[in-house]
């Protein structure tokens, strides 16, 4: 008899429409009737993680404690798969001048993920290029333009990652401490990283922000940023990511 596949979804944090992302991801998971998912807003539900075969995260300013990092590493080393989305690698703070910066992580979390968000240029359309067209996650997708208010992540990388898709720098990251980035430098958009018997797939796209998602900084954010959720290539790769997480790809 076929057994259920256990998944754990972590969705929480700031400056994004977390409710939209959570509902969308649960809807996508519901396309797989054999998947039974637990949910949380942070990394504290270690029992749920221990029972899971795969993990999905969509967060911003949510980081695990050192003991929770150890549990994540153990989950991966035993063969777990982790689909990490958008702001999972983001820690955001503001200095005395109001500029955003990414504090250094000393828990080992970002090193485990393989990257940490540092800044992004002003939101504008940009082209994502396929680096490895033969990978099951990207095969047949082709290059595409990201519109609708998504962010191009400028990131610090830790160790080796297998980049599947990338994009060129789009100019200065205005409003960030790490403002200047070399013109033409390419930044990962989709990558794999092996950890023991398990693996991480990180997909930086998926920004979403509604009118009330910048509280307490701003009571009402004037523009809804729909991000890549509105374009077919993003949704196709997201669906493939869930099939990969189940062990089908």
For residue 1, pLDDT over 70 is answered with no
For residue 60, pLDDT over 70 is answered with yes
115, containing H or E segment: strand 115-119
pLDDT on residue 2: 82
Pairwise CA distance, residues 93 & 122, whole Å: 18
pLDDT on residue 152: 97
CATH number for the domain formed by residue range(s) 5-246: 3.40.50.880
Q: pLDDT digits over 110-156, tens only?
A: 999 999 999 999 999 999 999 999 999 999 999 999 987 899 999 99
Mean pLDDT of the 78-106 span: 96
Mean pLDDT of the 8-30 span: 98
Pairwise CA distance, residues 247 & 101, whole Å: 36
Q: pLDDT digits over 167-221, tens only?
A: 999 999 999 999 999 988 999 999 999 999 999 999 999 999 999 999 999 999 9
Pairwise CA distance, residues 219 & 215, whole Å: 5
Task: Give this prediction's pTM.
Answer: 0.98
Q: Which two tokens mark 113?
A: 């993920």
Q: What share of the chain is helix, strand, coil (3-state, %, to 5)?
A: 25, 30, 45
For the chain, what are the domain ranges?
Answer: 5-246
Mean pLDDT of the 75-98 span: 97
Mean pLDDT of the chain: 97
pLDDT on residue 184: 86
DSSP state at residue 14: S
The residues near 43 (Cβ < 8 Å, ≥ 6 apart) are: 10, 49, 62, 63, 64, 65, 68, 71, 72
């Amino acid at each position: 008899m076929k057994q259920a596949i256990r998944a754990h979804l972590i969705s929480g944090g700031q400056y994004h429409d977390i409710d939209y992302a959570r509902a969308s991801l649960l809807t996508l998971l519901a396309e797989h009737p054999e998947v039974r998912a637990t949910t949380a807003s942070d990394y504290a539900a270690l029992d749920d993680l221990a029972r899971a075969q795969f993990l999905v995260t969509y967060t911003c300013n949510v980081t695990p404690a050192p003991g929770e990092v150890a549990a994540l590493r153990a989950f991966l080393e035993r063969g777990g798969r982790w689909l990490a989305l958008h702001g999972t690698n983001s820690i955001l703070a503001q200095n005395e001048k109001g500029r955003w910066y990414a504090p250094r992580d000393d828990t080992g979390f970002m090193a485990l993920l393989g990257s940490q968000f540092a800044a992004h240029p002003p939101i504008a359309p940009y082209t994502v290029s396929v680096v490895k067209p033969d990978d099951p996650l990207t095969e047949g997708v082709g290059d595409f333009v990201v519109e609708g208010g998504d962010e191009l992540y400028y990131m610090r990388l830790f160790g080796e990652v297998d980049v599947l898709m990338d994009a060129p720098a789009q100019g200065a990251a205005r409003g960030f401490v790490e403002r200047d980035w070399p013109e033409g430098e390419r930044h990962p958009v989709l990558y794999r990283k092996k950890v023991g018997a398990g693996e991480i797939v990180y997909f930086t796209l998926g920004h979403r922000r509604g009118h009330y998602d910048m509280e307490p900084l701003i009571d009402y954010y004037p523009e809804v940023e729909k991000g890549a959720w509105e374009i077919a290539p993003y949704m196709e790769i997201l669906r493939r990511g869930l099939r990969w997480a189940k062990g089908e790809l």
